[in-house]
Structure 1
C-alpha cells in the first residue's frame, strides 16, 4: 500500500474520530440540559405541593379560629385537595369538604355573583349560611384533622 494512501486513511480515520467525538459531546450537552430541566421541573412541583399543603393548613387554622366563612373555606380546600390528595375527599372526616362543595357549586362566584340580582344573592346567602350551620361541627372536625394530616 502506498504511503500516501496510508496517510489518507489515517487522516480520514482521525477526521471520523473527531466528528464522532463532537457528536458525542453535543449529545451529552443535550442530555445534561434535559436532565437539568427535569430536575428544575421536579423541584418546582415539590415546592408547589409544599405551598398547597401550607395553604391547606392555613385554611384549616382559619376555620378553627372562625376567621373565614366555612362555605368559602370548603370550596377552597376541596380545590386544593383535588391537586395534592384527591383520595382524601372520599375519606372520613374530609368528605365533608366535597359534600359542601357539591351543595354550593351551583351558586355564582366572583363576577357572576356581582352581576346577579341582589335579592337572589340574599336568597342564596341564606341557603349557604344554612348549609354552613348544618355542617359546622363536621367542618371544624375535618379542619382540625386536615391541619394534623401528614401529606
Structure 2
C-alpha cells in the first residue's frame, strides 16, 4: 500500500473519530437538557397538584365552618377533583359533589350571571338553595371525609 494512501486513511479515520465525538457530545447535551426540562415539568406538576389538594382541604374546612355556600363548594370541588382524583367522584361519600354539580351546571356563573335578568337569577337561586338544602348533610359529610383523605 502506498505511503500517501496510508496517511490519507489515518487522516480520514481521525476526522471520522472527531466528527463522531462531536455528535456524541451534542447528543449528551441534548439528553441532559431534556432530562432537566422533564424534571422541571414534573416539579411544576407536583407543586400544582399539591396546591390543588390544599385548595380542596381549604374548601372542605370552609364547608365545615359554613363559610361558603354548598353549591359553590361542590362546583369547585368537582373542578379540582377532576384534576387530582376523578375516581373519587364515583365513590361514596364524594359522589355528592358530582350530583350537585350535575343539577347546577346549567346555571350561569360569573359575568354570565351578572348579564342575566334579575328575575331569572332569583328563580335559579331558589332552585340552587333547594338543592343545597336537600344535600346539606351529605355535603358536610363528604367535606369532612375529603379533608381527611390522603391524596
Check whether TM > 0.5. yes
Give the corresponding residue for 2:33.
33
Q: C-alpha separation between the residues in 2 aligned to 1:9 and 1:106?
A: 78
Matches within 5 A, 1:1-151: 1-151=1-151
So what's the TM-score if we normalise by structure 1?
0.97
Consecutive unaligned residues of structure 2, counting only runs of 5 or more, are: none
Q: C-alpha separation between the residues in 1 aligned to 2:78 and 2:28?
A: 44
Instruction: Return the offset for 1:2.
Output: 2.5
Q: C-alpha separation between the residues in 2 aligned to 1:131 and 1:8?
A: 87
Q: Deviations over 1:124-149 (max 9, x none)?
A: 11111111111111100000000000
Greater displacement, 49-58 / 28-37: 28-37
Q: C-alpha separation between the residues in 1 aligned to 2:123 and 2:5?
A: 96
Q: C-alpha separation between the residues in 1 aligned to 2:32 and 2:144?
A: 45
Consecutive unaligned residues of structure 1, counting only runs of 5 or more, are: none
Q: Alignment length, in residue pairs?
A: 151
State the superposition RMSD in angstroms. Answer: 0.8
Q: C-alpha separation between the residues in 1 aligned to 2:95 and 2:73?
A: 14
Instruction: Return the offset for 1:4.
Output: 2.2
Greater displacement, 31-40 / 65-74: 31-40
Q: C-alpha separation between the residues in 2 aligned to 1:121 and 1:146?
A: 31
Instruction: Return the offset for 1:92.
Output: 0.4
Q: Deviations over 1:10-67 (max 9, x none)?
A: 1111010000100110011111111111111111111111110000000000000111
- Could you say what secondary structure the match of 1:68 adopts? coil
Q: C-alpha separation between the residues in 1 aligned to 2:71 and 2:53?
A: 19
